[in-house]
Structure 1
């Protein structure tokens, strides 16, 4: 089971209990969808546009706000030993701008909950090794995102 730690470091967009419950669900569904059952820990940090712009500039060289950033901490190349009574391994950190998520939800005509969950699944798939550099990769990621979101009632 994946332990999800959510930190809200912004005060511009309210974080409801509904959002927090949905985040737990989509993380669990993503891990189940990908067949991952070993204990892992994931950090999700909710920030504003100014904070994510600073991080985007520092780590990607793009001086503009973005919606989501993922930072992998677990090296999937190394062999892991199943944790028996130990702390779960840390998979990584996903950072989401709630301001950007709210903007995009309005632009796409769906709820903030759906957008935040979409960005969480997107970031988590990156941590699990998926990318969208090619059209084929983009289609695969998009298909997985939509499958996972539909399992929690957040399909388009």
Structure 2
């Protein structure tokens, strides 16, 4: 998994050195990989696609984007969490943003960075989302809602991270939670 992420970033950087930048707005790539043995009994691809697009629309992203979403088990997400964050325990979702936003959700300065775009498609490279299927099932039970709602929430949460939002400070947490709630409401997803 981590090798796949690093290889992808190296390939993109190499391509950027060898090809001129061009913005092409004809498609959007949401790459979904399922590497967990635990199967979700929900239309996870449809949910992921819908929530990625909803989050981008809510934030008025002016670009077609590229996002990678990978489903793994608790053991794999624990390893990734340990390696990249130094936290040796499993978690529900990890977000690996490709870009830094000066202001969360503000795409004004993105064009200044050629590295922000895939040179082959012109799509904005937002980053990678890693989801634990074990946590999706467990948290749906714990919070008393459906696996669909849990997956939708985690995708929206992670998409906001990819667009520069965080919840380290109370005021940032409030902003992020409100955006999550509104996006889910717009899609008719409630607890």
Task: Give the TM-score of the pair, scaled to structure 2.
Answer: 0.74
Distance in 1, Cα, partners of 2:41 & 2:82: 26
Distance in 2, Cα, partners of 1:139 & 1:89: 27
Distance in 2, Cα, partners of 1:2 & 1:15: 26
SS of residue in 2 equivalent to 1:110: coil
The count of residues paired between Structure 1 and Structure 2 equals 154
Matched, 1:132 2:164: no
Distance in 2, Cα, partners of 1:109 & 1:116: 13
SS of residue in 2 equivalent to 1:153: coil
Correspondence for 1:58: 83
Correspondence for 1:24: 49
Q: Structure 1: which 5+ runs fail to align?
A: none
Distance in 2, Cα, partners of 1:153 & 1:12: 27
After superposition, the C-alpha distances for 1:31-54 in whole angstroms (9 at most, x for unaligned) are: 110010212100000000000000
SS of residue in 1 equivalent to 2:47: helix
Q: CA RMSD in A?
A: 2.1
Moved more, 85-94 or 102-111: 85-94
Query: Quick check: 2:70–2:129 contact (8 Å CA) kept in 1?
Result: yes
Structure 1 runs (4+) greater than 4 angstroms displaced: 75-78
Correspondence for 2:32: 6
Query: Quick check: 1:2–1:27 contact (8 Å CA) kept in 2?
Result: no
How far did 1:19 drift?
Answer: 2.3
How far did 1:9 drift?
Answer: 0.6
Moved more, 22-31 or 1-10: 1-10
Partner of residue 69 from structure 1, selected from 77, 94, 113: 94
Correspondence for 2:151: 116
SS of residue in 1 equivalent to 2:70: strand
Correspondence for 1:40: 65
How far did 1:75 drift?
Answer: 4.6
Q: Structure 2: which 5+ runs fail to align?
A: 1-26, 102-108
Larger Rg: 2
Moved more, 42-51 or 146-155: 146-155
Query: Quick check: 1:2–1:28 contact (8 Å CA) kept in 2?
Result: no
Task: Give the TM-score of the pair, scaled to structure 1.
Answer: 0.90
